[in-house]
Amino acid sequence: MTHIPVLLAEVLHMLAPQSREVILDGTFGGGGYARALLEAAPCTLWALDRDADAIARGAALAAEFPGRLHLIEGRFGDMMALLVERGVALLDGVVLDLGVSSFQIDTPGRGFSFRFDGPLDMRMGQSGPTAADLVNTLAEAELADLIWEFGEERFSRRVARAIVKARTETPFTTTLQLAEVIRRSVPRDPSGIHGATRSFQALRISVNNELGEIERALGQAMQLLAPGGRLVIVSFHSLEDRLVKRAFQKASGRTPNTSRHDPSMLMAPRVAAPFHLLTPRSIRPGAAETAANPRARSAHLRALQRLPESRAA
């Protein structure tokens, strides 16, 4: 089993690691970005992952680059505290490669996929409620809202109704059991995607509080960046990408949806933004990459740089 890093060349180009720089990889995963960064320049790399298995696998890479790769089991939403308590207060680069790794999705026991049967878990870390806990206990309306909001599933009400009906007979324990109930509750998708795809995405996002983690990480990463430092984020669905896009626009002084005919804009003081948007449009994988790695299909890369003179003394 392996994880093919997505948009690796583009991530390296945007992060452009230099000798003696200090960089954070907030989503170590299979270590694909980490290895490339360590090989690209004699930099120091801090790497986080909330998944203990990912951190354990990383020990071999740390041994290959003695003293240069520091692995921490933890969430990127806590990056500030995790780094500061280790004496790191400034970074030259931060990269986040959002979502799940192939190791997670392809391991039946982790319960992320309905391609094979497994316990209905979906937790990237080891604490908190599982997907089974959510589907077995949430009220029907709460389930429908969750599936609508995080899965963008138009048939969320039907799905929630079917789940609640089924669980009164047998509580959900496995991925295939849930996938089958959901599939039968929605019309066949003309594009051929499995009827449970959106609902599974919604449950995964909710179980791991994925959007909350991104919101918490964005401010902290920007705060940690040294002058000239780069923040690079690869996201895999529109909910994630929207958060990143808006935060980057705001930080770089681009206010979305404001009209130049709005008189309040003429009155607004012009304060120099502390960041420069390196990607006015997101970078997408090319046809060759998506053919070789279908997981790359939905990727969007966005990058931001702290301006050299923008940090208060």
Site of interaction with ligand SAM (CB under 6 A): 3, 5, 27, 29-33, 48-51, 54, 75-77, 97, 99-101, 124, 213
Nearer to ligand SAM, 29 or 93 (CB): 29
Nearer to ligand SAM, 50 or 183 (CB): 50
Give min distance, CB of 176 to ligand SAM, in A: 23
From 86, 87, 63, select the one nearest 73 (Cα to Cα): 86
Nearer to ligand SAM, 124 or 231 (CB): 124
Give min distance, CB of 194 to ligand SAM, in A: 21
Looking at the DSSP assignment, which residues form a beta bridge with residue 209?
A: none
Give min distance, CB of 29 to ligand SAM, in A: 3
Looking at the DSSP assignment, which residues form a beta bridge with residue 47?
A: 25, 71
Give min distance, CB of 165 to ligand SAM, in A: 33
Nearer to ligand SAM, 218 or 251 (CB): 218
Number of H helices, E strands in the chain: 15, 7
Give min distance, CB of 48 to ligand SAM, in A: 5
Give min distance, CB of 275 to ligand SAM, in A: 22
Nearer to ligand SAM, 70 or 276 (CB): 70
Nearer to ligand SAM, 100 or 202 (CB): 100
Crossing angle (nearest 10°) for helices 156-169 and 175-185: 130
- What residues contact 2, with CB distance under 8 A and at least 6 apart? 30, 102
From 105, 123, 149, select the one nearest 238 (Cα to Cα): 149
Nearer to ligand SAM, 178 or 218 (CB): 218
From 163, 207, 170, select the one nearest 186 (Cα to Cα): 163
Length of the chain: 313
Name residue 91's amino acid. L
Give min distance, CB of 124 to ligand SAM, in A: 4
Give long-range contacts, CB 8 A cutoff, 24+ apart: 17-23: 17/41, 17/43, 17/92, 17/93, 18/43, 18/92, 19/43, 20/44, 21/92, 21/93, 22/46, 22/88, 22/90, 22/91, 22/92, 23/91, 23/92, 23/93, 23/94, 23/95
